[in-house]
Structure 1
Amino acid sequence: MNHVAIIGGGLSGALQAIHLVQEGVSQVTLIERGRVPGRGVAYGTGRSEHLLNVPARRMTAFPDRPDHFVDWFEKTAGGDAEAYAPRMAYGDYITGLLAETGDRVTIVHGEATDVVAAADGEHVTLSDGREIVADAAILALGNLRPALPGRIDVAALGDAWIGDPWADLRVEGLGADDMVVLIGTGLTAVDTILTLDALGYQGRILALSRRGLAPRAHEAREPIVAPQGELPSNCVALLRRIRRRSQEVGWRSAVHELRSITQDLWRKAGDIERRRFLRHLRPWWDVHRHRIAPAVGATVDRLERAGRLTFAAGKIVSINPEAGGAAVAWRARGTDRIETVHAARIVNCTGPELDIVRAGEPLFDALLSSGRIQPDPCRIGIDVDPDTLGAIGRDGAASGSLFVIGPPTKGAFWESIAVPDIRAQTDALAKRLAA
């Protein structure tokens, strides 16, 4: 294929463009609606306290050059292979690689609203009426906007509500007697906690989720452990095995044993087993598998020990505006006790929306309406062919010219948000399209 259009200029889209050029595709158009191409949400942060969740040795952009990022990191920042680099530094790395593609990649600023197949290729329509015609189109939209918690009147909360913690977080006017309530206890909440602390906020933080689980931290240096023996695909049997191995080698190694084969286990599991995992085990998998840097873990521990940070399992009963913030009533998990706290700020840390039907994205709405895409059976992304990454339409057939990469492919691979997973996808798809 001579011309490939990529919709989404974050990490997934930028890596795809870089690999397409490397494989000899003559023309690549990268469409980005708002952010600096190559950064996206994760790597567009301007906060030095936001660190990568894996060491530098695993963050190369090229599968055949494992030391590429380490070499760059050492030269530009004096880092080393075991360091957890600032995410904004990794953004610098990717944008630098994108710049090296020169005029082989054309960056178009605008919002894609539809992709229509025609005899002469894929027609990408932009919101301002422009149209780009390419031999193939790739959806690289990354993580969707945060899901909005139900039954919250955001408009009534005014300045007390912070819907985008990366863009709108502010501490002006907050003192040591104030409280910030985070809805969610995952990686988004950790980012928010780090920034509040770095901005000098001295008050209390209450992080709430149904189970109250927070991401665990990496050890200073963790061994790379290969899977041991035949692994069951049944959720219950696999959980028992991990528990047994945790007693033998420690829980970090027990979880890491599955790292290289997680996608294989997911692909072998049927829809019933996948839904069982999502319903019962996913929260525990997330906090043990997607760990945070040791320095980040140390900051979280310090705030907890000081009594300034509490992770709690519970459910919000009501949020009512009041002077200087809002009254948040919540019920602790497993009890009937309702506690009410005054929140000067409420931050949406629920993480990205997964259901493309509810996402409110004009492009998804158009493609769903035309039947070119559909939700995967578990409704955690877009249905794709795991072998070709072609989007599966309403007719059940995989497209040969409309492809999907990155986080929206969770339904096919489960593990599709980390750089090593996205790197593998973009490299394989680039080779396929170039051939």
Structure 2
Amino acid sequence: MPVRTIRDIVIIGGGASAALIAWNLKRLHQRSCAIIAPTDRPAFGLAYATPSLKNLLNVAASGMSADPDDPGHFVAWMRGNVSAETDPATFVPRPIFGLYLRQLYCAAAPEHIRDTAIACAKADGLYTITLAGGETVTARQVVLACGHFDPARLPGVPPEIDATGRYHHDAWADGVFAGIGADEEVVLIGTGLTAVDVIMRLRENGHRGRITTVSRRGLFPERHAPHATLAAPVFAPGATPATARAYLRAFHTALRGGIEWRAAVDSMRPVLNPLWLALPDVEKRRFRRHLQRRWETRRHRMAPDIADIIDAERRAGTLRVLDGRIDAIVTAGDRLRVVARAGDARLDIEAAHVINCTGPSLDYAKAASPLLRTMLEAGTIVPGFGGAGLRCTPAGALFDRNGVPAHDLHAIGPARLGALFESIAIPEIRQQARDLAALLANARTAP
């Protein structure tokens, strides 16, 4: 089996995180790297590969710079490459942001190994990465930039339902939208940002049928609206007892004092991870159980134009929102029946198509990834807190099964949710990429 030349830095993954590390390595440290990803479009990843100009960023252009030291970087790129009139408050289509990332990737010019990594093991101070095509890559330092994985399988949904062509487990799989008739009824499982994207794609494709969404709480994301920017978070680590209840009380105290809720939420962004790390595990579990979904609907908001469309659809009755827990999805002739429970009541909803919009899975231990499976089985990496992502230090160093953090194996982006509260959005990932690039560039590794 042929062995390639030893690379100093290898990044496994081809999305935004990988592109931003490569860009920071080149621009700040004059270092190159290799990226292993099967895609022919590195940098776009799942989030920015959508072809729809109706799928907008859920953060205004002013907050999407790739450079944490230059907040206007993305706006300047937009004005120089897309529209000279770009307003910093604009919510840009996601595929255009993908082009921005792609240009940064091209400026970094990493070596692209177009294949899938299926195993990664360390021996004699070096990592050997096995590729699906049979070759191997040897590296001194490895970064797992694996991103998101397909949604988790819903309970009560047998795999044979997939064969009907009417149940769509992955909302972004090729062919989902092409197979839905213009007047057919559709049920979406979930009411988060994935459901919003799917509604926009359906209508963009000329779909006129009724859409029904089902989720446990029936909560759509809130909308963005202008608000004042606070100079400091409404409460800070160390100033409030480290319990979920105390955090909630401190937040409500700020609201009762007259602070607008969007301003309060956004003020907390810089301290969310320190606040999370201060919580004992029992309090983290309490927060996830009782408060996380309420927080997410306010933290991850819709662009105003999109929120207007969702509101209009709900008023017109073309978008129906139901609260319920899915029990089963079964065939009903040439249609599907969704069986759900709302308290003691049973819901039976028939539709031509059902789309799982619960969003990407963060349970890396259950991901359909040979690479993660083999590394988890070997104990090179371990699942993160609550089963999310991987166990790592806040700086991304991955722990093995003995609780020892590696100095040459790191994670970035969603994988860090095994330790952090916020780690999936560009403002966090751009800082992680810059810091990790510095660590990689300055590391002393085995020859």
Q: Specify the TM-score bucket, using the shorter chain as the normaliser.
A: over 0.9
**What amino acid maps onto 1:16 in structure 2?**
I
SS at match of 1:23: helix
- Contact kept? 2:7, 2:34, Cα under 8 Å: no
- Structure 1 residue 402 corresponds to structure 2 residue 412: no
Structure 1 residue 340 displacement after superposition = 1.6
What CA deviation, in whole Å up to 9, does each residue of 1:16-72 have, x standing for no partner?
Answer: 111122232533111112351000011011100011111111111112222111101
**What amino acid maps onto 2:75 in structure 1?**
V
2:97 aligns with: 90
- Structure 1 residue 42 corresponds to structure 2 residue 50: no
- Structure 1 residue 327 corresponds to structure 2 residue 337: yes
- Structure 1 residue 214 corresponds to structure 2 residue 220: yes
C-alpha distance 153-331 of structure 1, shift in aligned 2 (>3 A): same
SS at match of 1:207: strand
- Contact kept? 1:23, 1:434, Cα under 8 Å: no
2:312 aligns with: 302
- Structure 1 residue 58 corresponds to structure 2 residue 58: no
- Structure 1 residue 240 corresponds to structure 2 residue 245: no
**TM-score, scaled to structure 2:** 0.92
1:18 aligns with: 23
**What amino acid maps onto 2:373 in structure 1?**
D
2:148 aligns with: 143
**Match among 71, 76, 81 for residue 76 of structure 1:** 81
**What amino acid maps onto 1:41 in structure 2?**
L
- Contact kept? 1:214, 1:311, Cα under 8 Å: no
SS at match of 2:317: coil
**What amino acid maps onto 2:302 in structure 1?**
I
SS at match of 2:436: helix
**Match among 126, 131, 141 for residue 126 of structure 1:** 131
**What amino acid maps onto 1:293 in structure 2?**
A
SS at match of 1:181: strand
- Sequence identity percentage: 36
What CA deviation, in whole Å up to 9, does each residue of 1:343-389 have, x standing for no partner?
Answer: 11100111122222222311111001111100123211100011x41
Write out aligned runs for 1:164-179 (5 A): 164-167=170-173, 168-170=175-177, 172=179, 174-176=181-183, 178-179=184-185
- Contact kept? 1:171, 1:201, Cα under 8 Å: no
SS at match of 1:378: helix
1:111 aligns with: 116
What CA deviation, in whole Å up to 9, does each residue of 1:279-337 have, x standing for no partner?
Answer: 111111111111111111111111111111122211223322123321222222x3x22
- Structure 1 residue 271 corresponds to structure 2 residue 281: yes
SS at match of 2:324: strand
Structure 1 residue 228 displacement after superposition = 3.3
1:362 aligns with: 370
CA distance in 2, matches of 1:354, 1:173: 28
Write out aligned runs for 1:148-187 (5 A): 148-157=153-162, 158-167=164-173, 168-170=175-177, 172=179, 174-176=181-183, 178-187=184-193
**What amino acid maps onto 2:406 in structure 1?**
S
- Contact kept? 1:242, 1:251, Cα under 8 Å: no
**What amino acid maps onto 2:177 in structure 1?**
R
2:445 aligns with: none
Structure 1 residue 171 displacement after superposition = 5.4
1:380 aligns with: 388
Cα RMSD of the aligned pairs, angstroms, is 1.7
- Contact kept? 2:182, 2:206, Cα under 8 Å: no
CA distance in 2, matches of 1:339, 1:58: 41
Q: Which runs of 5+ in 2 are unaligned?
A: 1-5, 443-447
1:346 aligns with: 354
Structure 1 residue 77 displacement after superposition = 2.3
C-alpha distance 271-87 of structure 1, shift in aligned 2 (>3 A): same
C-alpha distance 246-171 of structure 1, shift in aligned 2 (>3 A): farther
Q: Which runs of 5+ in 1 are unaligned?
A: none
- Contact kept? 2:242, 2:275, Cα under 8 Å: yes
**Match among 72, 79, 91 for residue 67 of structure 1:** 72
Structure 1 residue 101 displacement after superposition = 2.0
CA distance in 1, matches of 2:81, 2:69: 22
Structure 1 residue 197 displacement after superposition = 1.4
**Match among 18, 31, 36 for residue 31 of structure 1:** 36
C-alpha distance 382-91 of structure 1, shift in aligned 2 (>3 A): same
**What amino acid maps onto 1:59 in structure 2?**
M
Q: Identify the range of structure 1 (302-311 vs 72-81) with the bigger mean alpha-carbon deviation.
A: 72-81
